[in-house]
Structure 1
Amino acid sequence: MTEAVLETRDLCKRFGALEVSKDVSISLRPGEIHAVIGPNGAGKSTLIKQICGAEKPDDGRIYLLGEDVTHLSVDARARAGLARTFQVSALAMEDTVLENAALGVVGASGKAFRFFRPVLKDTEVLSRVEAALERVGLADAAGKQTSELSHGQRRQLEVAIALTLAPKVFVMDEPMAGLGAEGSKTMTGFLDGLRHEAPILLVEHDMDAVFALADRISVLVYGSIIASGTVEEIRADPAVREAYLGDLS
């Protein structure tokens, strides 16, 4: 079996008496999209935070490219190749599209924000940023203030920021959130091609997108993985149908 690019082993996270991650083990292989689905309150956001470094697990380990990153900071994981997009936009609305996209490069360099403006004059950095904007279809909007973008374009910009990190892994938290049917269709097509650049761990409620994209699906319910498998296996699993999918399957 191909070695995992990203892997969690027996992750546990407790907030007082509430156990929100219970021995969660998942893996992400090269070239694949692995979707994590589950009802609200299942622990998906907490799982993502642990993987990306915003929360520390109480037990268990996280591996990126075979290296234990459990105790690394968010920035250190980003520099190691883990790129995250957020459920709620974290963009600087008063800055231009180009400036926002360059933030990924600044973060990856480990430099303080005061070095941001000089970075924008670096031709190598600009080339990298412009290439990322071109990839997501925002090259013509580089000079626009980010607040002028549509919701769908802001989601595209978040992906561009992730691309500037030259990521080894994408962790995407509900990239379809707030998009209409056409926007979701466009984003689905884009992510389908992106997996060949770096595999994607996808947390998503849009089941049409999940079923169209996922090579594997893990179902998280009350902090535990109750099933993992292909789309067909998850659709057919009676425990999953009862816990989450219902008539959607």
Structure 2
Amino acid sequence: MSDTVLSTHGLRKSFGALKATDDVSIDLRAGEIHAIIGPNGAGKSTLIKQICGSLKPDAGSVSLLGHDVSDLGTSARARAGLGRTFQISELAMEDSVLENTVLGAIGADAGPWKFWKSALKTRELTERADAALARVGLLNERDMTVANLSHGQRRQLEVAISLTLSPKAFIMDEPMAGLGAEGSKTLTGFLDGLRTEAPILLVEHDMDAVFALADRISVLVYGKVIATGSADEIRTSPDVRSAYLGESA
């Protein structure tokens, strides 16, 4: 489709006899949130690693804006427009919110920075970082140490760092993990508006958030996509109920 931003084509990855991804072909379209759900061990993390470039597939390819990025590493894919947040935070906890965000801006430039803290004196980089922090509502916390942020604020900071890369697509791995009901509600509202900036491929176990946000949902079971459709289609699918959601859906 002409509005496809990100797509995978026949991704396969095996670890011995285990097929972690089995001929996975999905796409992410402009302006949408496409959720990937499935039980633990379904292959979701393996799929995300292949899309982002930290794990080489045995077969298949990944395209971003119509260009094959399969041979690019994680940093090159990020500079090409792939923004990622992680299931487990990888922030520099001892540094400030601004310092963490400037690191993202440096990555966007791919410049030869030998002493990155000197970049804090570079107006262009700090302005880009401040703009991203304002976008996620953390500008007032720019000088705080990351360790002093709430869990939800750290999730927002990860998004801000991705925003410094001017992403064409977001890959979000369980952003609701560890959040309470109020935190999940706040982040759900934020992500709902973020899709206008760039579409989101969302891996998430919080089904309330998934059904509230997703335009389309793909269900991964034992490495294979067993269904793709709207929230209503997935909620009422007998195959999905049997494999993952259960009758409570």
* TM-score with structure 1 setting the length: 0.98
**AA at the equivalent of 2:66:** G
Kindly indicate whether the alpha-carbon contact (under 8 Å) linking 2:95 and 2:146 is maintained by their aligned counterparts in 1. Answer: yes
Task: Using the TM superposition, give the Cα deviation of residue 53 of structure 1 relative to its aligned residue in structure 2, in angstroms.
Answer: 0.3
Distance 2:150 2:117 in 1: 26
Distance 2:51 2:147 in 1: 30
Instruction: Name segments (4+ residues, structure 1) moved above 3 Å.
Output: none
**AA at the equivalent of 1:129:** A
SS at match of 2:228: strand
Kindly indicate whether the alpha-carbon contact (under 8 Å) linking 1:75 and 1:108 is maintained by their aligned counterparts in 2. Answer: no
Q: Quote the sequence identity (%).
A: 67
Task: Using the TM superposition, give the Cα deviation of residue 118 of structure 1 relative to its aligned residue in structure 2, in angstroms.
Answer: 2.6
Distance 2:36 2:118 in 1: 39
Distance 2:81 2:115 in 1: 21
SS at match of 1:5: strand
Task: Using the TM superposition, give the Cα deviation of residue 109 of structure 1 relative to its aligned residue in structure 2, in angstroms.
Answer: 2.0
**AA at the equivalent of 1:42:** A
Kindly indicate whether the alpha-carbon contact (under 8 Å) linking 1:35 and 1:201 is maintained by their aligned counterparts in 2. Answer: yes
Kindly indicate whether the alpha-carbon contact (under 8 Å) linking 1:49 and 1:55 is maintained by their aligned counterparts in 2. Answer: yes
Distance 1:154 1:113 in 2: 25
Aligned to 2:174: 174
Aligned to 2:228: 228
SS at match of 1:21: strand
**AA at the equivalent of 2:177:** A
Distance 1:3 1:136 in 2: 26
Distance 1:39 1:242 in 2: 11
Provide, for residues 152-200 of structure 1, a one-character-per-residue CA deviation record: whole Å limited to 9, x for no partner: 1111111111111110000000010000000000000000000000000
Aligned to 2:20: 20
Q: Which stretch of the first structure deviates more once superposed, 83-92 or 110-119?
A: 110-119
Q: Which structure 2 residues correspond to residues 71-110 of structure 1 after superposition, within 5 A?
A: 71-110=71-110
**AA at the equivalent of 2:58:** D
Provide, for residues 45-80 of structure 1, a one-character-per-residue CA deviation record: whole Å limited to 9, x for no partner: 000000000000110010000000011000000000
Aligned to 2:42: 42
Q: Which structure 2 residues correspond to residues 132-171 of structure 1 after superposition, within 5 A?
A: 132-171=132-171
Provide, for residues 137-166 of structure 1, a one-character-per-residue CA deviation record: whole Å limited to 9, x for no partner: 111110011101111111111111111111
SS at match of 1:211: helix
Kindly indicate whether the alpha-carbon contact (under 8 Å) linking 2:53 and 2:77 is maintained by their aligned counterparts in 1. Answer: yes
Aligned to 2:126: 126
What RMSD, in angstroms, separates the aligned Cα atoms of the two structures?
1.0
Distance 2:162 2:247 in 1: 35
**AA at the equivalent of 2:149:** L
Q: Which stretch of the first structure deviates more once superposed, 129-138 or 118-127?
A: 118-127
Distance 2:227 2:149 in 1: 39
SS at match of 2:210: helix
Q: Which structure 2 residues correspond to residues 209-224 of structure 1 after superposition, within 5 A?
A: 209-224=209-224
Distance 2:193 2:27 in 1: 20
Aligned to 1:56: 56
Kindly indicate whether the alpha-carbon contact (under 8 Å) linking 1:42 and 1:220 is maintained by their aligned counterparts in 2. Answer: yes
**AA at the equivalent of 2:15:** F
Task: Using the TM superposition, give the Cα deviation of residue 226 of structure 1 relative to its aligned residue in structure 2, in angstroms.
Answer: 0.3
SS at match of 1:105: helix
Task: Using the TM superposition, give the Cα deviation of residue 102 of structure 1 relative to its aligned residue in structure 2, in angstroms.
Answer: 1.1
Distance 1:104 1:244 in 2: 36
Q: Which stretch of the first structure deviates more once superposed, 239-248 or 172-181?
A: 239-248
Kindly indicate whether the alpha-carbon contact (under 8 Å) linking 2:106 and 2:125 is maintained by their aligned counterparts in 1. Answer: no
Kindly indicate whether the alpha-carbon contact (under 8 Å) linking 2:174 and 2:202 is maintained by their aligned counterparts in 1. Answer: yes
5+ residue gaps, structure 1: none
Distance 1:62 1:108 in 2: 21
